[in-house]
Amino acid sequence: MHTAVLQREAIEHLKPEPNENFIDCAIGQGGHSRLILEKTAPLGRVLGIDADSCQIANCKALMADFGNRLILVNDSYANLKAIAEKNDFKPVHGILLDLGMSTWHLEESGRGFSFLRDEPLDMRYDRKIKNQKSKIKNNLTAERIINEWTREEIEKILREYGEEKFAKRIAKRIAEQRKTKPIKSTFQLVEVIKAAVPRKSGHGRIHFATRTFQALRIAVNDELNNLKKALPQAKDILTPGGRLAVISFHSLEDRIVKNFLKEEKQFLTTLTKKPITSTEEEIKNNPRSRSAKMRAAQKL
């Protein structure tokens, strides 16, 4: 079962009240939304969005007790405004963007998100809805990037999306290895990375494959561009006085949110001077929360 991070802090900053409406842009298994629905009873609603149809099914089963107060939509939060309009969801008193990957994706999806499991190199959250209008499926996988993109392109995403200092060495090793045999599984890729990075760098606090896997996941799902598209839409559809909370998990996301709030200060008042991080107790109970940062704002 996935444990949503910064639950108490998110609720404190979103301040859900009875009969108010909220949007959870990446609802996953509904950890935050359950608390919001409890606070907004009896008539408050949550519009839950998730790009993964499997997570929508998971959430539907886990939160059936809320009935029609919970509206679930299988789509990307990059289409936030259109989703809200299509579902006639208004007024919107608060929006939550939890950008973290769920435990289910790591441990049960079988899509190669974790370097600790031997799985196909897929890494797609969404395998159906890349382009709703033309019904084009998202066919970009981590396997295609690793085996088809140029060495220079791979190096670029490892450096920019993974902030990987050994990006050049890893990309070179990938390009060499795939000439002999296609790299199709997570364990194959881990071995390639292990051979590329200096031995003394392979046993630090962060696993040597972490940044490469992060970079591939971001590239496959176009995560940073989706965030850049969603934030202005969130600002637009919030009712005056409505609140926005964004939980990010690496510096690239946090920088986008920080800059957005700075640029939109005539419309949004920042509620968090510094990003809020997990307590020592939460990190102890949920180690994946250690990198979480939350920023919140209120619409003027």
The CATH number of the domain where 164 resides is what? 1.10.150.170
Biggest alpha carbon–alpha carbon distance for the chain: 62
In a domain, 1, yes or no: no
**How high is the pLDDT of residue 135?**
46
**How high is the pLDDT of residue 199?**
80
Task: Calculate the average pLDDT of the chain.
Answer: 93
Are 267 and 129 in the same domain?
A: no
In a domain, 233, yes or no: yes
**How high is the pLDDT of residue 200?**
72
**How high is the pLDDT of residue 149?**
97
Are 217 and 227 in the same domain?
A: no
What gap in Å lies between CA 208 and CA 217, rounded to an integer?
16
Are 93 and 25 in the same domain?
A: yes
Q: What mean pLDDT comes out for the span 150-162?
A: 97
In a domain, 213, yes or no: yes
The pairing of beta strand 45-50 with beta strand 293-299: unpaired
Q: Tell me which of 287 and 232 has the higher pLDDT.
A: 232
**How high is the pLDDT of residue 69?**
98
Are 93 and 159 in the same domain?
A: no
Are 22 and 155 in the same domain?
A: no
1 C-beta neighbours (distance < 10 Å), count: 9
Q: What mean pLDDT comes out for the span 145-155?
A: 98
**How high is the pLDDT of residue 201?**
64
Last residue of a domain, one of 194, 221, 248: 221
Are 12 and 151 in the same domain?
A: no
Are 246 and 265 in the same domain?
A: yes
> Is the model's pLDDT at 218 over the cut of 90?
yes
In a domain, 2, yes or no: no
> Is the model's pLDDT at 2 over the cut of 80?
no
What gap in Å lies between CA 68 and CA 25, rounded to an integer?
18
The pairing of beta strand 268-270 with beta strand 293-299: antiparallel
**How high is the pLDDT of residue 100?**
87
Last residue of a domain, one of 192, 221, 250: 221
Are 235 and 287 in the same domain?
A: yes
Are 116 and 217 in the same domain?
A: yes
> Is the model's pLDDT at 42 over the cut of 60?
yes
Are 76 and 59 in the same domain?
A: yes
What gap in Å lies between CA 294 and CA 247, rounded to an integer?
4
Instruction: Report the percentage of the chain scoring pLDDT > 70.
Output: 94
Residue pLDDT, tens place only, 170-187? 999 999 999 999 999 999
In a domain, 89, yes or no: yes
Residue pLDDT, tens place only, 86-124? 999 999 999 999 998 888 888 889 999 999 999 999 999
* Full domain range(s) for residue 176: 111-221
Are 77 and 174 in the same domain?
A: no
> Is the model's pLDDT at 164 over the cut of 90?
yes
Cis peptide before 287 (omega within 30 of 0): no
Q: Tell me which of 204 and 202 has the higher pLDDT.
A: 204
In a domain, 271, yes or no: yes
Read off the DSSP letter of residue 111.
Answer: S
The confidence band for 136, taking pLDDT boundaries of 50, 70 and 90, is: very low
What gap in Å lies between CA 296 and CA 243, rounded to an integer?
7
Are 139 and 267 in the same domain?
A: no
Residue pLDDT, tens place only, 238-296? 999 999 999 999 999 999 999 999 999 999 999 999 999 999 999 898 888 889 999 99
The CATH number of the domain holding residue 27 is 3.40.50.150
Last residue of a domain, one of 178, 195, 221: 221
Q: What mean pLDDT comes out for the span 54-77?
A: 95
Structural domain tally of the chain? 2
What gap in Å lies between CA 275 and CA 293, rounded to an integer?
5
**How high is the pLDDT of residue 230?**
98
Q: Report angle CA 218, 219, 221 to the nearest 5 degrees.
A: 70
In a domain, 204, yes or no: yes
